[in-house]
Amino acid sequence: MGGICSRKRDQQVLEGRVRRGVSGNYSKSSSSKWLGTTFARPNADLQPGCSFPSLLELCIYRIREDISRYKSFSMLPRDLSQQIFNELVISHSLTAACLEAFRDCALQDVLLGEYPGVMDSWMDVISSQGSSLLSVDLSDSDVTDAGLGLLKDCSNLQAIALNYCNNISDHGLKHLSGLTNITSLSLKKSCSVTAEGMRAFSTLLNLENLDMERCSGIHGGLVHLKGLKKLESLNIRCCKCITDMDMKAISGLTNLKELQISNTNVTDVGVSYLRGLQKLIMLNLEGCNITTACLDSISALATIAYLNLNRCHLPDDGCDKFSGLKNLKVLSLAFNDVTDACLVHLKGLKKLESLNLDSCRIGDEGIANLAGLPLKSLELSDTIVGSSGLRHLSGITHLENLNLSFTLVTDGGLRKLSGLTSLRSLNLDARQITDAGLTALTSLTGLTRLDLFGARITDSGTNCLKYFKNLKSLEICGGGLTDAGVKNIKDLVHLTVLNLSQNTNLTDKTLELISGLTELVSLNVSNSLITNEGLHYLKPLKNLRALSLESCKGFELDVILDVAVDLTSRFLTRCYGTAGILALVNTVVHSATYPCRSLVGATVSPDLTTGHHQRGPLKDLRSSREPKYQIEFHSEESPFHPDDDQESMVMPNKNGENYLCFLPKVVKAKSEMPLTQLNVSSLIVETEKRVKLKTPDELLEALKGLCVVRQEGWWSYELCYQKKLRQFHVEDEKEKVVQEFILGVYDEEATAAFNQNLSDISTLKDPRSKDASQRYHAHQYTNGTICDLTNEPRETEVRFVCSEPRAMISSITELSTCKYALTVHSPTLCKHPLFQEERPVLHTINCNLRPKDYKEAKPDKVEADDKQIFMVPDIDSSNHDSDE
Map out the domains of the chain as residue ranges.
Answer: 2-151, 694-831
Cβ burial 790-814 (10 Å sphere, 16+ → b, else e): eeebbbbbbbbbbbeeebbbbbbbb
| Cα–Cα distance for residue pair 486/514, rounded to 1 Å | 8
Q: Are 549 and 527 within 8 A, CB to CB?
A: no
pLDDT of the residue at 558:
63
CB 517 within 8 A of CB 490: yes
From 143, 147, 149, 100, select the one nearest 119 (Cα to Cα): 143
Instruction: Give every CB contact of residue 872 below 8 A, 6+ residues apart in sequence.
Output: none
Whole-number Å distance between alpha carbons of 203 and 136: 19
pLDDT score at 845: 84
In this prediction, residue 267 carries a pLDDT of: 97
Q: Give the dihedral sign, CA 159/163/168/169.
A: positive
Q: Tell me how far apart the alpha carbons of residues 781 and 777 are, in angstroms, rounded to a whole number.
A: 13
Cβ-count burial of 71 within 10 angstroms (0-12 exposed, 13-18 middle, 19+ buried)?
A: exposed
Look at residue 789 in the predicted model and tell me its pLDDT: 79
Classify strands 715-720 and 707-712 as parallel, antiparallel or unpaired. Answer: antiparallel
Neighbours of 55 (CB within 10 A): 16
Compute the distance between CA of residue 857 and CA of residue 540 in angstroms, rounded to an integer.
26
> Which residues are CB-neighbours of 649 under 8 A, at least 6 positions away?
578, 660, 661, 663
Half-sphere exposure (Cβ direction) of 303: Cα atoms closer than 13 Å? 15
Bridge partners of 656, per DSSP, are none
**How far is residue 330 CA from its own chain's centroid?**
25
Domain 694-831: what homologous superfamily? Mannose-6-phosphate receptor binding domain (2.70.130.10)
Q: With a cut of 70, list the residues of the chain below it in pLDDT.
A: 1-51, 554-629, 654, 666-693, 713, 732-735, 756-774, 805, 836-842, 855-884
pTM: 0.65
